[in-house]
Structure 1
Amino acid sequence: MKKNIAGFVAIKFALFSVSVATAQQKAHNPLIFADVPDMSMMRVGNTYYMSSTTMHFNPGVPIMKSNDLVNWKLINYCYDTLADIPSLNLTDGRGTYGRGSWASSIRYHNGTYYVSTFAQTTGKTYIYSTKDIEKGPWKRVAFKPSFHDHSLFFDDDGKVYMLYGNGKLSLVELNEDLSGVKEGGINQVVIENASLPALKEGQRGGLGAEGSQLFKKDGKYYLFNISWPPGGMRTVLLHRADKLTGPWEGKVGFQDLGVAQGGLIDMPDGRWFSYLFRDYGSVGRIPYLVPVKWEDGWPVLGVNGKVPETLDLPLNKSLIPGIVASDEFNRKKKEPALPLVWQWNHNPDNSLWSVSERKGFLRLKTGRVDTSFLLARNSLTQRTIGPLCSGVISLDVSGMKDGDFAGLALLQAQFGQVGVKVDGSNRNIVMINASTKKPVQAASIPLSQNIVFFKAECNFTDKKDVADFFYSLDDKTWLPIGTQLKMAYTIPQFIGYRFALFNYATRDTGGFADFDYFRITETISTIK
């Protein structure tokens, strides 16, 4: 009897171990713990492609690729710069924070890839197209007006449309060559108030339905939108119709954890998923996947109406180096000057940076006097990632001039900086904390050497949203500096926090700072 009990226990333990191991091999939500909002996805054969929003950063409209719908890698951008205008160049004293290009729509039609977007900054709609989505080149057409949160759609009869709007949704037919709105084509409101399915009787207000993404399955049209009803949460709205012009039938599609805004993606094996995102504090808007079943001609999202923690898909790998990556700034011949993980804050001045003037270093040069970090050009950024991450730089300050400030920052409206300020013949390591919306110098330490190391650590666990800064004189012993940064996701910038390498002048131009490397990890130290 004892042997039977022991055997039974052994079998149960083995089955439990297999179950745990199997669970550990499955994908988990969030899909990407980083700021990748307003996703649009498509499948071409066995390969998935995704576009997203990066607004005022350049290059813009990132394109990502996946072979399993879980693990994504940056492969391209649609443009180097959106437009050569003062607000995008940071020459107007304000910039275009939180604007630039917004939600994109990615499509594949007759051997060509298309990505469309729109920009409040320019008041235009843009359509980019290419035969080679990884190498380009991209063809661009631009026209007015700016169609808010539109979905680009190629119908079976060859006609091309955009469905767009906020609350009131409209359909517009485009020219066959996508060069603009077709004269005499369909141009009409198709849903007078798309928010209604999420509102209680007599209720008004909240976020109007937007984020349109349009799909077709088995002869029916399906439209995904997001709304935020008063007193509720971010909600997925679904509409379906037999004709694009309607009538459209609507319902609430999903309400859980505020995971909303996205669309549909199918797999070669016949499974369907919905890609959505969630506002997750200062790390930004992070993607989720939920399974989809079809019932009575409607997509049914989630597992019993909830976001599942795990998915029957391959295990998530690290976001390093596909979404973010370390950089030693060593470049071989024919390699791009900057890997795709990097984006400039607004348009760069390309005459004032280099990875070739000093081999193995990024050199940021000053060409004008600036009054603040947020108005300084040529801050080079990449995403922070959750739940934990740290960024480290090595900085050579020997080329800096009086009034220059260079170092490592966490970029948002309530930013934090650690770096070297030059005051006459003196150099000081300083930490700036803008948690209160006003930059405060929280520490200043004299520096008597040319090489110094800085680190910023972010903790996004359970929306703690705090960051600590450190410095080192030997790259071995790290010392905390200044005060803890309380990070906050602010609407004026509308981005998750980003690591930023910066150098700007406050008095004299012509100085430079040399960055030997940037290294990112998914851990933080125990020093607090």
Structure 2
Amino acid sequence: MFSAVYACALFAGAALAHGDVTNETYTNPVLWLDLADIDVFRVNETYYYSASSMAYSPGAPVLQSGDLVNWEFIGHSVPYLDFGDPSAYSLEDGEQAYVRGIWASSMRYRESTGLFYWVGCVDFNQTYIYTAPDAAGPWNLASTIDTCYYDCGLMFDEDDSIYVAYGNTNISIAKLNEDLQEESITRIWNATFYLEGARLYNINGTYYVLLTEPADWEWTLKSTGGIYGPYELEILANRTASPIDESGFPHQGGIVDTPDGDWYYLSFIDAYPEGRVPALAPIYFDAERWPRLPSNDSFAVPNEYPVAPMRVEPVTGTDRFEGPSLDPKWEWNHNPDTSAYSFAECGGLILNTATVTDDLYHARNTLTQRIIGPEGTATIEFDISSMQAGDIAGLSLFRDNAAYIGVQDGTVFLQRDLALGENWNTISTGTREATAAAKDASCIWFRLHAN
């Protein structure tokens, strides 16, 4: 049987970091990681980036930057996936929540309260609002709203009123009260084609809602007559050239200004099989106050840094798990069993059996980190001296089609062709091959390379 991944010490590394730096220019993608459904905003001279995480826990990763190009993980807005379906979100009773959970959410800072706010609809059911005094946390649930604000964009207006734009095809704006409850809903746009991914802005008295027509175009709604319109529609990104060969087009995401008043559009690119990776380009506002890209190649060519480059902690490197908590780059596959892991006094992470299963997709307390592209390497050291008969420790390339290298009962092996089906239930637990003996080993190293 498959016991959930069991290990003492772990080392991880990868081959490529952020956007390359050459004489104060950058190239896209600025971060070659699957960080989709971008929301981006600035507080003073610091930029923040919120992204989707689906069923990984904690959810809604938060990144920080001083220049919009070099980003570092600082926390998560949703500490635990507590959405009314505990079995699915905790991989219990044969249930799972793959492709559910956190996606297309929004994050902002409110100066009047000194709090950061995160808002997102989960499972097409309810909308959750979390707040924190610092973007790194601690985050706490502040409100639950029965309306689903699908693909939402949060904004605090000049008078400090709270608005959320949301919807698909038919776009609405909800106004919230000070208790973070729904006060009113106003329909602002009925489209004749599919739109989603709302981002709401008030820029010098003109209201904008950015919307994507997946996965090729980005559109802008604009109103000079107030937040409820009337709105006009204009294209922002029309199958704009990508910096990545054989990828999708830059789309969705959000816009943000620098302290000097320059504007940038942080989109994402579908780069299969890596994921949806962020790409940054300058924009300007024309005489009619529409946001525009300078050219169709704006994402594909080197651009000057928005501000002076600022170094951050790289997403690559070594993690010796010295505690008392995990680095924010890490997320569990679904909610973890917190009683089944701990930090060793001398450094290292101890993973005790949390699930007995032959299915990696249902092995609770599987610890994950996003694979870095276009090529990445991860190396892990296991102390296997305390493993029991039947236990498995391993390192996986983990997605809907997966593989892993593992050790069980003194034998090292490759397990390949694991797969999830169209309904995200397991259709294959894989085939074991390429075995080797490791009977007398107390420690073992595994390495994976992805390209």
Q: TM above 0.5, one fold?
A: yes
- 1:193 is aligned to 191
Q: CA deviation at 1:324?
A: 4.7
In structure 2, what residue type is equivalent to 1:353? Y
* Mapped pair 1:445 → 2:445: no
Structure with bigger gyration radius: 1
Contact 2:210 2:221 in 1 (8 A): yes
Contact 2:79 2:139 in 1 (8 A): no
Residue from 107, 114, 135 that aligns with 2:117 = 114
d(CA) in 2 for partners of 1:94 and 1:26?
Answer: 47
- 1:93 is aligned to 94
Q: Which piece of structure 1 moves more, 299-308 or 47-56?
A: 299-308
Q: Which piece of structure 1 moves more, 376-385 or 136-145?
A: 136-145
d(CA) in 2 for partners of 1:436 and 1:338?
Answer: 28
Q: CA deviation at 1:223?
A: 1.0
- 1:516 is aligned to none
Q: CA deviation at 1:436?
A: 6.7
* Mapped pair 1:398 → 2:390: no
Unpaired runs of at least 5, structure 2: 1-19, 243-248, 421-427
- 2:359 is aligned to 372
Residue from 135, 138, 141 that aligns with 1:136 = 138
d(CA) in 2 for partners of 1:212 and 1:458?
Answer: 33
Contact 1:324 1:382 in 2 (8 A): no
In structure 2, what residue type is equivalent to 1:105? S
Unpaired runs of at least 5, structure 1: 1-20, 196-207, 460-528
d(CA) in 2 for partners of 1:274 and 1:428?
Answer: 50
Check 1:22–1:380 CA distance in 2 against 1; reply closer, same or farther (3 A cut).
closer
- Provide Cα deviations, 1:297-354, integer angstroms capped at 9, x if missing partner: 10102435642421110698898x44354211234xxxx3211111111000011111
* Mapped pair 1:234 → 2:216: yes
Aligned-pair identity in percent equals 31
Residue from 398, 417, 428 that aligns with 1:411 = 398
* Mapped pair 1:326 → 2:305: no
The 3-state SS of whatever aligns with 1:415 is strand
d(CA) in 1 for partners of 2:71 and 2:168?
Answer: 30
Q: CA deviation at 1:402?
A: 2.4
Contact 1:409 1:415 in 2 (8 A): yes
In structure 2, what residue type is equivalent to 1:288? A
Contact 1:31 1:316 in 2 (8 A): no
Residue from 249, 262, 274 that aligns with 2:265 = 274
Residue from 155, 158, 161 that aligns with 2:157 = 155
In structure 1, what residue type is equivalent to 2:58? P
Contact 2:87 2:95 in 1 (8 A): no
Q: Which piece of structure 1 moves more, 248-257 or 127-136?
A: 127-136
- Provide Cα deviations, 1:441-465, integer angstroms capped at 9, x if missing partner: 2322222222221100011xxxxxx
Contact 1:254 1:305 in 2 (8 A): no
Superposed CA RMSD: 2.3
Check 1:190–1:137 CA distance in 2 against 1; reply closer, same or farther (3 A cut).
closer
d(CA) in 1 for partners of 2:419 and 2:296?
Answer: 42
* Mapped pair 1:342 → 2:334: no
- 2:167 is aligned to 165
Contact 2:343 2:350 in 1 (8 A): yes
d(CA) in 2 for partners of 1:156 and 1:43?
Answer: 16
* Mapped pair 1:455 → 2:447: yes
Residue from 414, 418, 429 that aligns with 2:412 = 429
- Provide Cα deviations, 1:369-421, integer angstroms capped at 9, x if missing partner: 21300001000111111122101111122222222211111110111100102
Q: TM-score, normalised by structure 1?
A: 0.73
d(CA) in 2 for partners of 1:408 and 1:210?
Answer: 36
In structure 2, what residue type is equivalent to 1:364? L
